[in-house]
Amino acid sequence: MEIRTLHVADIELPPEMERLRDLAYDLWWSWHPQATRLFAWIDPDHWRRYHNPIELLINVEPHQWKRLLGDPEFRRTYDAVIEALDRYRTRARWCDERAKQMGGPVAYFSMEFGIHESLGVYSGGLGVLAGDHCKAASDLGVPLVGVGLLYQSGYFRQTVDADGFQQHIYPDYDFARLPILPVEAPGGGVLTVPIDLPGRVVQAAVWKAQVGNVPVLMLDTDIPLNDPADRPITGMLYVRGREMRLCQEIVLGIGGVRAVRALGIHPAVWHMNEGHVAFLGLERAREKVLHGDGLGVALKSVARNSVFTTHTPVPAGNETFERELVKHHLEPWVRDVGCTPDEVLSLGTENGSFNLTVLAIRLSSTTNGVSRLHGAVSSAMWRHLWPGNPESPVGSITNGVHTESWIGPEMRALYAQSLDPSWEDHLLEPEFWNRIAAAPDAQLWAAHRSQKERLIRFVRERVRLQGARSGLGPGDLRTVETLLDPEALTIGFARRFATYKRAVLALSDMDRLRRMLTDADRPVQFLFAGKAHPADRAGQDLIRRLFLLTQGEFRGKVVFLEDYDIEMGRMLVQGCDVWLNTPRRPQEASGTSGQKVPVNGGVNLSIPDGWWVEGYRGDNGWSIGDGAINPDTEAQDRADAEALYGLLENDVIPRFFELGPSGLPERWIATMKASIASVVPAFSAHRMVRDYVETVYLPAAAR
């Protein structure tokens, strides 16, 4: 679908390089190494600092172009990248025929989109999942348009002070320097859409991020047309204030529908990615009432081609508001549809509050969780919302990851050499990935080891910056050069620091941990990263506890990296030997970070929760505990910690350091190969999106 945009960045390019503008504004480059290599070639220092092609191109001096144009290898790379981009846009795709059956695109609404670190409109797993969904839809030819918000400050940037306290920094983005463009209105100028709020109309400007063949529309209220009190509605992702959060979700749901309509897009399916976006169903119902339908008929009609994905396995995790607050803010909607306030409140009421998950379920024809276990948990949680109590009212489509976005360069080269130069075309073929068993052990080990060494260099640089900001002297900063050991078993843990994820479970027995970390013959090291929401004091306390351990006797053996983002996540999943996941079952809906590790040669050590219930098969990693759920959480934590330490001491660590006749850890490499073969095809975002098309989108479009 063509969406006209306006150029706002001051980019001057030589005529021979004019297509760089087109490339920079298509986030296709973010998962194509030759494209990012081209940008790095233009200005290596600038690229290393910002990873943002718009910022880079704005700052290129004319003499730099003269040098580059005189480099034949650069010119050949430019031509190859542009040719690859054009080929990508026009090639035949898996969904081409199915798209005709759908009869229109999917409108995919999400509170956040984690596409690349240069576009900070994400906080964590939900956003990264949405970004991977868009990338896979583009690869497969699924007609899809994303809809979200454009946050002036995004999610907070994290620093940790010398005493271990998390600090929150909110950047002020210059949108003209990001890989996004304002959408052009039919009559010229920037497209804006109106959103009715009590006593006034708020306008939202519409911007577009292009993700391959998928446009993502983002709404921005920080424009002069609005009252100063309304401009910050799209200021911060997951703002603490409840009224401001409600306003955000009204702007996204109602304004998002109006943006789609203003562009002449006619979705066949409306996909709500989590309950934050549920107000889109009310806006669609309002449209139908204004065209003559009764409200009851309109709501049923809206539900027929609306689908809902829930990511939250515990009641407390769902978005709720006080009924009076919602009643006040939905006054314009109530007036337009001619109903009573109680009628609209009844659509989302649960236990005395207005619950957006309940609203989304009631305005959808299908609801799915994001793993089989999560589907079962959600069915039990919400069964009362379905008259007749069907056995499993909530289905499941297990999350997957966009493989090409997360694989490291050495492992990519290994697959090209050992499996097929076009290995990316075989992502969903288990037989193809079983061929990894025949790949030379030495080459696989060397590829993963090279990525691990890059991770260690990255960690050293980050720790040096952290230390300098905390006031460490040059002598202390020089010791960072010896931080971490490339020969050590490197265990990574990186995710949101919510208490149920139990980030410090591995640190619960200090004596056993001490023995592991001080064994010179079998060295072990831990890398931790993650943010706690600014309102989550318990999560911030976990970070402080962990950080202080890294500054004491475990200094150099346990490292906490501040400001976890997509770039850091990419480095960690590419270089860690083991990925640790210790949620309190069954509170992990899916988890996707562990799915990114196997393609890079890493293996999972995880509680049997979320996707790992389906992914673990005995030879491809380790499952912690027996999956029992004890209502006594302290007892459960003790049992899980005991199981974790037992696995580390008796299997994981010995296997990593046990060398075979070849001088390599042959049993460990066999585990790596089993991990690759079992996880890569089954937990690809391509499989996930195909499942959505065949089991959700096509049936919804037919309805």
User: Is the CB of residue 544 less than 8 Å from the CB of residue 179?
Assistant: no
The H or E element containing residue 345 is helix 341-346
Among residues of the chain, what percentage have pLDDT more than 90?
93
Q: What is the pLDDT of residue 2?
A: 86
Evaluate if pTM is beyond 0.85.
yes
Check whether 558 has a pLDDT greater than 80: yes
Distance of CA 260 to the CA centre of its chain: 23
pLDDT band at 572 (very low <50, low <70, confident <90, very high): very high
Taking residues 471-499, report their average pLDDT: 92
Rounded CA-CA distance 465/470 in Å is 9
Check whether 443 has a pLDDT greater than 80: yes
Check whether 335 has a pLDDT greater than 90: yes
For the chain, the structural domain boundaries read 15-90, 96-399+689-702, 403-683
Q: What is the pLDDT of residue 471?
A: 87
Q: Six-digit token pair at 37?
A: 């290599």
Q: What is the pLDDT of residue 498?
A: 87
User: Is the CB of residue 393 less than 8 Å from the CB of residue 382?
Assistant: yes
The H or E element containing residue 641 is helix 633-647
Check whether 275 has a pLDDT greater than 90: yes
Q: Under CATH, what is the fold of the domain 96-399+689-702?
A: Rossmann fold (3.40.50)
Q: pLDDT digits over 225-246, tens only?
A: 999 999 999 999 999 999 999 9
User: Is the CB of residue 262 less than 8 Å from the CB of residue 195?
Assistant: no
Helix axes 441-469, 409-418, angle to 10 degrees: 170
Q: pLDDT digits over 28-72, tens only?
A: 999 999 999 999 999 999 999 999 999 999 999 999 999 999 999
Taking residues 217-222, report their average pLDDT: 98
Check whether 475 has a pLDDT greater than 90: no
Q: What is the pLDDT of residue 452?
A: 98
96-399+689-702 and 403-683 agree in CATH topology: yes
Vertex 690: Cα angle to 688 and 694 (nearest 5):
120
Rounded CA-CA distance 408/455 in Å is 11
Which residues is 5 bridged to in the sheet? Answer: 183
Q: pLDDT digits over 639-651, tens only?
A: 999 999 999 999 9
Distance of CA 40 to the CA centre of its chain: 24
pLDDT band at 127 (very low <50, low <70, confident <90, very high): very high
- 3-class DSSP state of 187: coil
Q: pLDDT digits over 379-418, tens only?
A: 999 999 998 877 889 999 999 999 999 999 999 999 999 9
Check whether 156 has a pLDDT greater than 80: yes
Q: What is the pLDDT of residue 314?
A: 78
Check whether 470 has a pLDDT greater than 90: no
Check whether 476 has a pLDDT greater than 90: no
Q: What is the pLDDT of residue 114?
A: 98
Q: What is the pLDDT of residue 392?
A: 85
Taking residues 359-365, report their average pLDDT: 97
Mean pLDDT, the chain, rounded, equals: 96
Check whether 315 has a pLDDT greater than 80: no
Taking residues 294-312, report their average pLDDT: 96
Q: What is the pLDDT of residue 11?
A: 94
Q: Which option is the CATH number for 403-683: 3.40.50.2000, 3.40.190.10, 3.40.1390.10, 3.40.50.1860? A: 3.40.50.2000
Taking residues 472-498, report their average pLDDT: 92
Residue of 656, 665, 678, 660 whose CA lies nearest to 597? 678
Measured distance between the N- and C-terminal CA atoms of the chain, rounded to whole angstroms = 23
CA atoms within 13 A on the CB side of 108: 28
User: Is the CB of residue 111 less than 8 Å from the CB of residue 65?
Assistant: no
